[in-house]
């Protein structure tokens, strides 16, 4: 957990909130003493129906073409 002073929160609020949104828990301090905590709001889970709908819309993947592309980008002996 990281500590951020009230002054830093005021001057760099967007950056601090972005850090919290990425999952970092931040303690806000005043005169070196903790006064508040900032953390991301938990996201709601997607329903099985929504996940299946998204899965059905994924583009088709040609495994042989994918392998050729990977071999071109990386050492084929890997």
Q: How far does Cα 62 stand from its chain's mean position?
A: 29
pLDDT digits (tens, 9 = 90+) for 17-70: 999 999 999 999 999 999 999 999 988 899 999 999 999 999 999 999 999 998
pLDDT at 43: 85
Residue 20 in 3-state DSSP?
A: helix
Rounded CA separation 49/32 (Å): 48
d(CA 52, CA 74): 33
3-class secondary-structure state, position 34: strand
35 three-state secondary structure = strand
Is the full-model pTM beyond 0.75?
no
pLDDT at 78 over 90: no
Sort strands 2-5 and 33-38 into parallel, antiparallel or unpaired. Answer: unpaired
Please identify, in words, the CATH class of the domain defined by 2-38. Answer: alpha beta
């Amino acid at each position: 957990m990281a500590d951020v002073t009230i002054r830093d929160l005021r001057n760099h609020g967007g950056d601090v909130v972005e850090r919290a949104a990425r999952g970092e828990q931040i303690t806000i301090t005043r005169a070196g003493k903790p006064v508040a905590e900032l953390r991301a709001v938990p996201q709601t889970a997607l329903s099985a129906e929504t996940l299946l709908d998204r899965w059905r819309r994924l583009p088709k993947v040609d495994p042989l073409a994918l392998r050729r592309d990977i071999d071109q980008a990386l050492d084929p002996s890997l």
